[in-house]
Structures are given as C-alpha cells and as structure tokens.
Structure 1
Amino acid sequence: MLDHRCNSQFTLGIVSQKWLEWKFEEKVRQNPTIGYSELSKTIKDEFSINVTVSMCRRAITGILKKLDIGYETQFKRLRDYAQECLNSNPGSTVKIKTTRTVPTSPMVFERIYVCFHAMKMGFLAGCRKFIGLDGCFLKGKLKGEILTAVGKDGNNQMYPIAWAVVEIENNSSWRWFLELLKADLDITNSSEWTLMSDQQKGLSNVIQDLFSGVQHRNCARHVHANWSKRHRGKVLKTHFWQIAKTPNKAQLAENLKALEKIDVAARVDLDKYPMQSWCKAYFKEDVKCDMVDNNLNEAFNKTLLNARSKFIIPMLEDIRVATMKRVEKKKVWVENWRGNYGSLVLKKLNESILGSVGWEVIFNGVEGYEIKKGTLQFKVNLQLTSCSYRLWQLSGIPCRHGICDIFHKGHQPEDYIHECYSKGLYLKTYEHVIQPLNGEIFWPRIEGEELHAPVPKKMTGRPKKKRKLEETEKNKKKMSEEVSKLSRKGRIMTCQLCKGKGHNKRFCPTLSSQQGESAIRTPVAVRGRGTGRGRGRGRGSARLTDLSQESFVGTSACIE
C-alpha cells in the first residue's frame, strides 16, 4: 500500500459561485442577513477551503435574487397558512387585512394579527393584568413593523401574548391591533389593567379611547432619554432614577426638592413628562408589578432579530416556533424549582433580606410595627402585608422593612410572597401549548381572490441592520472603546534588565557597558523590499545593512 505524499490543497477550482449558491441556499434562506466574512469563515471551518469574501458576496447576492422570485408567492399562500394555524390550534385568532388602490385593482396585503389560543389562555390563567406594548422595524424586503403585546409570568419574565405585522406604526395600526387584543383577552373592566409603552406618538390617545380608566405607564428609560438631551451628567441621571423608583409621594417630594437645589431648569423640564405615567409613587397596588421600564418587550424583540429579515411566512413561523419552544422549556424548567417560587423572585427577596440589617423594630403587641433607622421611620402591618414605604404593596414581595417584622415574628419571608408568584399559577401559565403545524404541501387551499404582495419600499441610504443607539448607550460604547484602546503616550518605559526608567532593554546602558562598542556596530537585519538580484526573494525579504555609529546614535537619541 502506497503512502500518499500529496500536498493539501486549500483552494479548489470546483468551488465556484454557482457551487456556493447551490450549497448554501438554505443557509442564506434561514438567515438573509448573513455576512460575507461570516460565510467565508463557515466554509473554511466546515470544508477547510479558502474562499474569498468577494466570491461569497456574489454568491449571497445571487441567492437573494432567487429568493426574491418567491416574495410574491409568499402572500398568495398567506391565507392558506392562516387557515392551517386555525385548524391546528382551535380558538386562535389570525386576522388578515387587505387594501386596494382603486376598486378594480388587485387585493394587496396590508396587515396580519396572530394570537394563539394557548398563549391567550395561559396569560389569563396565571399572569398579572399587565401588558407591555412595543413595535420594531422589519429589515427584509417587506418593509413595515411588528407590533407585540407581552405579559409578565410568575418569575417576572416575558410572556408573549400576540403580535402583528403592519405597514407602519401609527394611530390606525395601533387601534386595529389593540381592538383585536382587547377582544381576545375579553377585557371589560379596563380600570383593573395596566398597559406600558415606549412613548409612541398617538398611542396614549388610542389607549384612553379603547381602555377607559386603564393605567398607562411610559417607559422611564425613554423619558430619561428625552429629558437628558438638555440635562446631562451622572449626578442628574442618578437623581432621575431615584425619583422614578420612589414608591411613595412623601419621599418623592423630598427627592424633587433635592433635584431643584442642583438644577432648577432640570426640575422644571421634568414636569413636561407627567410623573403619573413613569414614577412608582403613582402606580396602582393591585397589579403587583412595579416595573418602570419596558424591558420585557425589548427582550422579546431581541428574539425576533433574525426573523425580521425574512419573508412574511418564514418570519411568522420563526415567531411561532420560538414561542412554542419557550413554553416547552418553561414547563420543564419549573419542575426543577426547589421551593414554591422562581429564582428571580427569590433573588429579589434576598435583596430585601440583606437590606433589612440595621433597622430598629418596635412592636405594639398585635400586628403593628415601627421600623426606624436614623431619620427614616415606616409603619408595617403583617396581617395586611402592607408598609408605608409602599414597595411591598406594589411588587407583592416583602420589602426590607417587612422582612424586619417577619423575622421579629419568627416567620419565614417566603410565606408572605403574593400568590401571583406561586408555582401553582406558574404551571397554569404554561399548561397550554401551541400545537404543531403541517408542512406547506398539506395546507388547505382557500378559495377566493388572489392576495398580492405590497410593493417593496426602497428606503434612502444604506440599509441599517443595527438598532439606533441612544445617547447614554453611545457614551457607554465610547467609554468601553477608550478603555480597550488606551494610548501608550506619556507612559514611562521600564527596562526589563536593570529595572531602570526611561529606556527599554534594547538600549539598556548596563548591557552596552558589558558588551562594549562592538555590540553597537553589530549588523542589524532591516526588512524591506528586495532590489536587484534580491528581488527574487519576493516582497518583504530581509537584507543585512551595516549601520554607521553616527546613524545609530541619531536613531537611539530619537527613540529616547
């Protein structure tokens, strides 16, 4: 048997643009925003073949052109897909809204709303009456936005309720989305509910029209982003968040006075944003949710990052599959709970336990307590699970003042956590599951007028793939880059040989005195382009050059 001694080839002529399009069409279909360098690296890792980035760019461009042919057919089968969702998940809601330019023109897709029966029933069974609303842009050929409604489960994590693809985020699209959501959740008494949004224009009027008496919160992070455009600095930022997270009106007044002493203009401008919508002191207690930001929706939008670049049906399928997997994951995860509450709830309780150190407890003999530390004093009632600080009533988790009384009574803090966080309700939340769907060839054929795709909108400028950063986020990113790229200018070098300052080991005077002057005249290898007969060595070949003492001294003086 002969031993093969052939050299390994990492560049093959058979690897052409056509081969790349055939081999990676499905990969690009699943991730249309894949980078050229990323594909080149993937090929190198999987096949040990070097492919240029330009060839990958041509291949991806060719694949995307092929996929564009299927853009129109996606909408022709959209109603079939919607009917398959309804057949597999009875009780779900899938609504498609169409439009016509003129009465005789073809029917064109405009919006679609999806709310699965499992997510609706799970939310009503185990979640609090709190809904976060948000929208995010689509990044593919289909331009528009995804509107989302997200709840909060028993472990203070996001719970997707419904989502919709609309042409634009405005009063009309939000009204259409919220009307369907209100009907699905059978909301009759709006005063029991709390909605949170990101200060979208016009959304406040729509919410007040559809949900009379509802508490509408605005994300404090977006309020701060607008307010801080004129009032910057860490001191003002600290005061803002202290005000936003103050749970009672007495301390809120003190914090506002402290802000006014620092900056009167900042205090006046803060009144432009009604505190009833973003300050804890004005939140209702029966919802058991003290959130001041809309991070739950931001977390859900992050899971849609890749889906937002795909066509309409693959995008809806990615959202459905991700939600279905999440429900299954939570059903398995809850079985690993050591107690009756989730990890995030216990973490918040432990923070209260640590904060309870150093408070003086005064007991009246029945259920009343006074908790004192310095000039602060609060009244606590264990029977009513209430504290004048109000954080216990807002969150449903004992605050540090309540923990003092619970320990004084000899009870366990877990016994005073609100039942909305219990394992029983958490299991009810994820009891219902989304049923799987058949493949495209098994979808029912819906008779009727053919549905056409909307005309793709060509946006000005280069397509943006990354989210627009706020000013505070830009400053954080800039600071991290500055820390990672610290300049060496101004540093005093230290010699590794003699540990002296002002020189390195190459110009160490101790080494020069030991080796003598001959060390200075030692030929030095200078790298450069070969000339004359040395050109055959190629670019970057080394050649030896004798440096005179004068030129060396001048160089050393320049370096020093």
Structure 2
Amino acid sequence: MKKWALEWKFEYKTVSSNKSRVLLSCVDENCTWRMRAIKLPVSDFFVVKKYVHEHTCDTTHRKANHRQASAKLLGSLISSNYGEKKEGLKPKQIIEQVRMLHGVHINYKQAWRVREEAQILVRGTPEDSYYNLSRWLYKITETNPGSLTYQHVDAAGKFKYAFVAFGPSIRGFSLMRRVIAVDGTFLKGKFNGTLLAACAQDGNYHLYPLAFAVVDAENGASWKWFFRGLSQKIPDASDLVFVSDRANSISSALEDVYPLSHHGICRIHLLRNITPTYAKTGLLPLVESAADAYTCHEFWLIFKDIKDKCPELAKYLEESDFRKWARSYAPANRYNIMTTNIAESLNSMLKMPRELPIISLLETIRLTMTTWFFERREAAAKHKHLVTPKVVQKLVSRLGAAMLLNVYQVDRSEFEVKMKQ
C-alpha cells in the first residue's frame, strides 16, 4: 500500500491495525478512499475485503514530504544499486533520484537512513554478518580447493579474528618472486576493527593478494596470529622477504613466526621518518638512491656523500640497519619491491568495501580477485612472448642504450660490459 500510495501521489492513515485486521483511510477525513483487509484463518496472508479507489479530496493533501515514504520503503526501491562490488548511491544522489522518480523531497539525514536500509536489505546487518561468518568460511574451503580459513573467538565467545587465504593465490605464489608486502588498514563499519593483508607482485608487476585477516586491532597479538595462519601455506625460509612499515608489532611477530626470513622496511616510511628533521639538508634524494642501489660499491659511493654532508643523518641510517632498508645489503633478494605500495594499493582499492559488513567485505575481495585472475589468464593466453608484456616493454625501452655497450665474455656464465668510447 505504501508503494501504491507513493506511485499515485496520495497519503493515507491507519484507522485500525492488529493481527487480524487492518483499516486504512485517506488523510482527508472527507475523502471517500478506504481499504479494509482481514487475515485468512489458515495462513498469514491478508485479503482485501473492501476497497474504494476513488479520491474525493483535493490536491492540498498531496505533499512532497510523503508520509508513506519511509526510509525502509525508499531503501527497497533503490536497493538494486547496491551489492557486492557495487558502491551504490551516495546520499546526495539518493536525494536527487527519489525526487526525480517518486516526487518525494527528503533531506541529507533522511537520505543517509535510506542508504542504510538499502544496504541492510541487500547485505544484511553487521550482526547477521558476524553470525553467519563461520558458514561463509566453510563454503570458501569447500568451493575453493586449497584455501585456508580460521576464525578465533575470545573467552566469552565473541568474534576476535578471522583469516582467509584463497587456494588459487597460494598455488600461484610458488611461481613468483618470494617478496611479500604486509600492511593493515582500519575498517569503518559499525564494529570497526582492522583488515590485515599480505600481497605479492606477479611477473607482470600486477598486485597479487595472498591472504587477509579481520582483527580487533593492529597489534603484536593480531599480527602474530595472522602470520601463524600464513605460515601454514607459505613456510619460513631464508629466501623469503617481508616488507612492511616500521611498526614494532610486525617486527616482533615476524621474529617469532618467521625467524629465517628477512624483514625489510619500506623506503617511503623511512623517508617519512627523517623528513621532519633532515628535509632542509637536501639529502633525501641521496637516501632514496642509496636504498635502491644494487651493489655495495654503488651504495657506499652515495652513502659517503651523505656522511660528509650530514654525519647525524648518516648515523641515524646506520642505526636503522642497512640490511633492512638498503637493497644491496639485504640478506635475501628484494628485487624491485622497496616499498609497501602493493599492499597500500589494495587498501586503497578497498576504501568503499571497508564500510561494509564483514561477509560483504570478504565477498567483495573474492569477487575482485576472481575478476583479476580471469582477465590475467585471458591476457596470458594471447601473449606469445617468453616474458610478460611489462618486461617486454622494459626490454624494448632499454634496447637503444644496450646497443651502445661493448660486451666481452669472460667464461661460460660471466660477461664484462663496458660503455663504447
């Protein structure tokens, strides 16, 4: 009846309503419009027994702020705009759409409530999402062979941690460079929390998610629990590298769970730490170059310049441990992954889903990864070169400079390269 009233631009009031009968009339007492319905004795359905469809009232009783246009009703009318991987309408867009389609005027606060009702209708409440999480995790392991899921509750039986690593991601990592970037980002739903993520980079320099966890907060206990789950699929090894910010919680957790692996810090976070004190020295580009240097000889040529111009900065960098921030001193190969940008890019991509209930958040991640993997598989099937498209581009761009070099073979596996004079 609310939808009918909204469509035909009239308003009604409830004269009587109980479990067995409902009687409605027009808001104008002199109008003849009426509707009476009673409940069927053998079911929960109601049947209309009397309906007077004509209105004898005038247009003064037709208002733009329609009394039947509740947040729940309007939410049901726009719910198709919401769903997994859909950001949906924003409050200002809802205001405009409701006005254009239904002739109803609502304010920003009402539009926000309409948005919430639409999301609840499609995605359920946050409470329902946590209640059904264990079922969703079970279905993931059942439908995605090789996947790993965990859920942890506290002594009172309340949710604390959830971990998921999809089987295809874990299997693909065996063919990639063994460098993993980890990062955490806060959630913006009703119960807050933090999303932890571990990402790698595939052969075409694409973001490659490995594992996720929703935890209460980003601290030592939650990171340790996350790494324990990850270690079930990616065991500790001396050639494994983790890249993160300088959080002590991550460092201590890696020491406990991955003692053989190398822990490198993000170059950008290192520069952020020294920028307030040493920005005016003009040495920050040199620090960046020193971090990216491939050989120790190249590193020391740059670092000597830093030390001569600012001994205090050089001392700080030495105390920060060359092995953690300088590529040339890393015990294991970091390749081109000197920052946590791949993990932070994932967090940026999930900016909107971080507002959703936990199941909708994880389902959005799953659908996104499914789309990525399908598109990459299709592109790979059409690619005929021995190396990936991005590597082909790099080889082509460097061909001109390479043609200017003289190459002398020293033995079967070693060459000496010199610039042409």
**TM-score interval for Structure 1 and Structure 2 normalised by the shorter chain:** 0.7 to 0.9
Which has the larger strand fraction?
2
Q: Residues 64-143 of structure 1 correspond to what in structure 2 (within 5 A)?
A: 64=116, 67=120, 70-101=125-156, 107-124=157-174, 126-143=175-192
- Aligned-partner residue type, residue 82 of structure 1: L
Correspondence for 1:22 among 61, 66, 76: 76
1:167 aligns with 2:221: no
Specify the alignment match of 1:246 in structure 2. 293
State the shift of 1:25 in Å.
Answer: 4.0
Q: Residues 213-252 of structure 1 correspond to what in structure 2 (within 5 A)?
A: 213-233=260-280, 235-252=282-299
Q: Residues 366-405 of structure 1 correspond to what in structure 2 (within 5 A)?
A: 369-373=415-419
1:266 aligns with 2:313: yes
Q: Which of structures 1 and 2 has the larger relative contact order (alpha carbons within 8 angstroms, sep 6+)?
A: 1
1:357 and 1:182 map into 2 onto residues whose CA distance is 45
Secondary structure in 1 matching 2:279: coil
1:87 and 1:291 map into 2 onto residues whose CA distance is 34
2:256 and 2:301 map into 1 onto residues whose CA distance is 35
Secondary structure in 2 matching 1:72: helix
2:160 and 2:231 map into 1 onto residues whose CA distance is 21
Specify the alignment match of 1:292 in structure 2. 338
Cα distance change on mapping 1:371 and 1:116 into 2, 3 Å: closer
1:151 aligns with 2:200: yes
Contact 1:32–1:309, Cα closer than 8 Å, also in 2: no
Q: Which moved more, 1:192-201 or 1:223-232?
A: 192-201
1:166 and 1:112 map into 2 onto residues whose CA distance is 7
Specify the alignment match of 2:92 in structure 1. 37
Secondary structure in 2 matching 1:217: strand
2:146 and 2:414 map into 1 onto residues whose CA distance is 49
Number of aligned positions between the proteins:
353
2:273 and 2:96 map into 1 onto residues whose CA distance is 41
Specify the alignment match of 1:321 in structure 2. 367
Specify the alignment match of 2:381 in structure 1. 335
Contact 2:205–2:390, Cα closer than 8 Å, also in 1: yes
Cα distance change on mapping 1:362 and 1:65 into 2, 3 Å: closer
Cα distance change on mapping 1:37 and 1:252 into 2, 3 Å: same
Correspondence for 2:396 among 340, 350, 361: 350
Contact 1:28–1:60, Cα closer than 8 Å, also in 2: no
CA RMSD of aligned residues (A): 3.2
Cα distance change on mapping 1:356 and 1:312 into 2, 3 Å: same
Contact 1:227–1:270, Cα closer than 8 Å, also in 2: no
Secondary structure in 1 matching 2:64: coil
Specify the alignment match of 2:42 in structure 1. none
1:70 and 1:192 map into 2 onto residues whose CA distance is 44
Specify the alignment match of 1:494 in structure 2. none
Contact 1:110–1:166, Cα closer than 8 Å, also in 2: yes
Contact 1:146–1:165, Cα closer than 8 Å, also in 2: yes
Compute the TM-score of the two structures, normalised by the length of structure 1: 0.57
Specify the alignment match of 2:230 in structure 1. 181
Identity, % of aligned positions: 21
- Aligned-partner residue type, residue 22 of structure 1: S
State the shift of 1:212 in Å.
Answer: 2.1
Give the gaps of 5 or more residues in structure 1: 1-11, 102-106, 376-560
Contact 2:161–2:213, Cα closer than 8 Å, also in 1: yes
Compute the TM-score of the two structures, normalised by the length of structure 2: 0.74
Contact 1:21–1:60, Cα closer than 8 Å, also in 2: no
State the shift of 1:144 in Å.
Answer: 1.0
2:145 and 2:409 map into 1 onto residues whose CA distance is 57
Specify the alignment match of 1:302 in structure 2. 348
State the shift of 1:229 in Å.
Answer: 1.7
Q: Which has the larger radius of gyration?
A: 1
Cα distance change on mapping 1:138 and 1:34 into 2, 3 Å: farther
1:196 and 1:165 map into 2 onto residues whose CA distance is 20
Contact 1:131–1:194, Cα closer than 8 Å, also in 2: yes
Contact 2:294–2:328, Cα closer than 8 Å, also in 1: yes
State the shift of 1:267 in Å.
Answer: 2.3
State the shift of 1:364 in Å.
Answer: 5.6
Secondary structure in 1 matching 2:339: coil
1:200 aligns with 2:254: no
